[in-house]
Amino acid sequence: MQKSVCRSRFLPSISNSLPVRAWCAVAIVMVMAVGMAMVSGILAWIAQSDAEAVNTAGSMRMATYRINYLVVKRENRPAQTPANAQALANQSTNHESQVQSQPQIQPEIQSQQLLPNDALSRSIPASQPIDSHLSKDELLATLTQDMQSRLAQLAHYEQSQGNRDNQINQQIDTIRQIWTTELQPTLETSVREGNRDALYAISLRYIDNVDKLVKQIQTRNEHRQSLQQNLQIGALLLTIIIMLAGLHEIQQNVLIPVGQLRKATQQFGKGEDTSVNIAGYEEFNELGDSFNQMTSALKAYQNNLEAEVAKKTYHLTQSNQALTLLYDFAKQLNQQPVAYARLQVLIEQFGAVLPNFDISLCLHDANLHNDNFKDAMAMHSLGIRDKRHLGRSFCHPAHCQTCDIKHDEGVWVYPINSLQTQWGELLVKPRHHHGKGIRKQPQPTNSATSQKPSPINRITLLDEQNWQNFADSQEPFFDENELLNTLANLIGLMFAGKKQREQEHQLILSEERNTMARELHDSLAQSLSYLKMQVSMLTTLLKDNQNPNNHKIEQVLSQTKDGLNGAYSQLRELLATFRLKIEEGSFDTALAQAGDEFANKGGFAVHLDNRLMSINLTATEQVDLLQITREALSNINRHAQAKNAHISLSQNQQGVVSLHIQDDGVGLQPKDDGQHHYGMTIMQERSHSLGGECQINNVLPHGTAVRVQFLPQAFQQKIE
């Protein structure tokens, strides 16, 4: 990362990308190559013009020699004095040495110096003789034109691109000025008048300036060649530096990241948790990030798969435990009646199997039309019991309307249905649910005991956020829904079986009682009827027989007749008791009808407060309670002389059933004979048969109270 920062500082305008940097390096090398080629071509082209300028300057020097030679020859004089000849020879020698020092640049100068006659012949038409045929004017014009053409070539060289130099330009101007102002006028004078010495002196100075021009051009040409060599060396060094930098870039930004990726791939292939931290080109950085994302994604997938396997394993374990509980409970249903204590344990165990849910079982009377007057019974899992300090409890009808468990928006409600009868609801609330959900009907099941849900039946879908939390917690929703539906249906089967067994027991008991009633009617009832007829006949005979002791006999017969009538009435009541049976779901109706019956017989008001669910009683217990109530009402009718009778039937939190019957009559009389206490004995015996006790006491200011308490069989069974 620090290397990348350093590179970004040195190359802020170049992206840290392999293609970009590669193209930049190639572009730099190409620009350098093209630039060097262009510079070399320009310098070569300029050097070519320098050589032409040097040749032109040499030809000017040769033309000066020729002018002096022709002037001397024109006058038919010796070429020059010894001193002049020696000076010209020295000048020629100096120029020849300069030409030999630059043989490649000044080939024409050397040729003209060594072969002056050839040069002269090239400048003069071959058809014209040099001496004899040219006049002075022609010779002067020829020599002047030749020198001016050479000066024009230098002027063109001076004005060309790349050859503009102040010193060289000044030197060319000096040569042109000497020719124009000195040498040309002197040449005309010498040709016309023969002034050779002045021409010779000016020619020497003219040649010296031409030599200076040649030296300046040569110096500039050497400088250009040195510049070209330096540029080539610099380009070569820069190319080497670029190549070394490229190799370093490849090492740091390509080879090292590739090695890191290769090593990380090998480690990942061995199952190790690995990642790479690549500091290279952007492409390799992205490749490293993609590799890290891939390994992270694969690791996350692996963790998710492991979590899913653990989740499924836990779910299967939970399902197995729940199915085991349901199987054991169903097996008990087939073997014996299930006590409420066992049902409470089932709810607690189911709550332990589904720890994310609070489970409550709410049971109420099957007669929904009378549900507003009956207490309901609730059983809770350990979660609710710990939070609310609730176990098995009996709820007043008013409490059901304000129950925060039943009316919580997050509660799923499963109906307990069987045989077209609703026994209650199974209330399930996810512990993680907060706030309101969306209610919907429960999922349909294939159970034969389920029926069309009533409007109260509902199940709650969580909102999206809470549903995600629920999905991450433990188990899938639909499996739990099926388990809870199965639990609700199984509890419904329990009550259906209980109801069916009670009906069977009531049928058997009714048949036995009807048999006993028929036998009593055929035997004892007929005997009593016969005795009554005999007493009536005896009374008639006594009236016909006038005997002073008849009044005593009539008194005995009257008492006998009263006894027979009482025995006959009791027998009829006993027969009615034997024939008494409770129709399906009519315990409450039978109790109310008994109250109405004796109210009509005795002319007193009967007030009934029945808050006991008949589902908590067996068929025998229902018959015994009904018989105790009828016996108490019968005693009130015969002896109490009461105006009001109150009947109260309830069950406390421990499951104890209480029957309380009270009147406002005369109360118990201490001198009542045994005949009057026969009904109380019957109530005592039936109370003992229920496993309870019966208390009969006077109440203030007047009246009698009968209190019967017992624990129903459904609440007596213990868990083995």
Q: pLDDT (tens digit, 9 = 90+) per residue, 160-214?
A: 766 677 888 888 888 888 888 888 888 888 777 767 788 888 888 888 988 888 8
Asked whether the predicted pLDDT for residue 613 surpasses 50, the reply is yes
pTM: 0.50
Asked whether the predicted pLDDT for residue 263 surpasses 80, the reply is yes
Contact predicate 661/706, CB 8 Å: yes
How many other CB atoms are there within 10 angstroms of residue 358's CB atom? Answer: 25
Listed range (241-255, 337-351, 426-440) with the worst mean pLDDT:
426-440
DSSP H/E element including 158: helix 136-159
Asked whether the predicted pLDDT for residue 110 surpasses 60, the reply is no
For the 315-494 domain, the top CATH level (class) is alpha beta
User: pLDDT band for position 544 (50/70/90)?
Assistant: low
Q: Report pLDDT for 663.
A: 92
460: left (phi over 0), alpha (psi -120 to 50) or beta: beta
Q: Report pLDDT for 70.
A: 81
CATH topology of domain 582-720: Heat Shock Protein 90 (3.30.565)
Mean pLDDT of 25-45: 80
H helix runs in 336-436, sequence order: 340-353, 382-388, 397-401
Token pair listed for 572: 């009829």
Mean pLDDT of 249-257: 80
Contact predicate 393/653, CB 8 Å: yes
Contact predicate 459/442, CB 8 Å: yes
User: pLDDT band for position 402 (50/70/90)?
Assistant: low
**Coil vs helix vs strand at 389:** coil
* Segments making up each domain of the chain, as ranges: 30-235, 315-494, 582-720
Q: What is the mean pLDDT of the chain?
A: 72
Token pair listed for 672: 């009542």
CA of residue 123 relative to chain centroid, distance: 102
Q: Give dist(CA 680, CA 685) in Å, integer.
A: 9
Q: Report pLDDT for 462.
A: 37
Mean pLDDT of 322-334: 78
Q: Report pLDDT for 444.
A: 40
Q: Give dist(CA 63, CA 198) in Å, integer.
A: 17
Mean pLDDT of 84-107: 43
Q: Cβ neighbours of residue 83 under 8 Å, at least 6 residues apart? A: none
DSSP H/E element including 47: helix 18-74
Q: Give dist(CA 695, CA 704) in Å, integer.
A: 10
Q: Report pLDDT for 580.
A: 59
Contact predicate 360/379, CB 8 Å: yes
pLDDT digits over 125-139, tens only? 333 334 445 677 777
Q: Give dist(CA 524, CA 585) in Å, integer.
A: 34
More confident residue, 569 or 8: 569
Q: Report pLDDT for 606.
A: 92
Q: Give dist(CA 14, CA 25) in Å, integer.
A: 11
Listed range (257-261, 382-386, 476-480) with the worst mean pLDDT:
476-480
User: pLDDT band for position 245 (50/70/90)?
Assistant: confident
CA angle centred on 553, ends 550 and 558, rounded to 5°: 120
First-last CA distance in the chain: 73
Q: Report pLDDT for 38.
A: 83
Contact predicate 651/395, CB 8 Å: no
